[in-house]
Amino acid sequence: MFSSRSKNKVNIDRVVNQPARATPIVRPQKNHRRGPRKGVWCVCAIETRGGEVREGVIIDISKTGARIRFRSRGTLPQVVRIRASRIGLSRFARVVWQSEFDAGIEFVPDNRVSG
């Protein structure tokens, strides 16, 4: 550790005269959200047309949609109804994306629900 032997010396002139390395360009991802999201933690129920009910938690919400997290893996149908009594939410929604435990939904007016 404190030996008198010299360690690998750095050639300062070479380091100073080297051309600068290019900094990688990181482009922001496109944000497809239509409105600002508010972080919440609210239990909700997702109902399918077949009568199945899955419990989840609303992670964030906006006027146009929400992100829901579930305890277990599963897939949702294209159209669901979300209910969260604590925040007075009872709306139809279209599932926009899904991962293993999360889903992004877009609220749709009741008259636009087809099928």
Angle subtended at Cα 103 by Cα 97 and Cα 109, rounded to the nearest 5 degrees? 80
The per-residue pLDDT for 23 is: 46
DSSP secondary structure code for residue 64 in this structure: S
Domain borders along the chain are 28-112
Which CATH topology does 28-112 take? Answer: Thrombin, subunit H (2.40.10)
**Single pTM value for the model:** 0.65
Digit-coded pLDDT (tens) for 90-110: 999 999 999 999 999 999 987
pLDDT over 90, % of the chain: 57
Question: Which candidate, 44, 75, 48, places its Cα nearest to that of 57?
Answer: 44
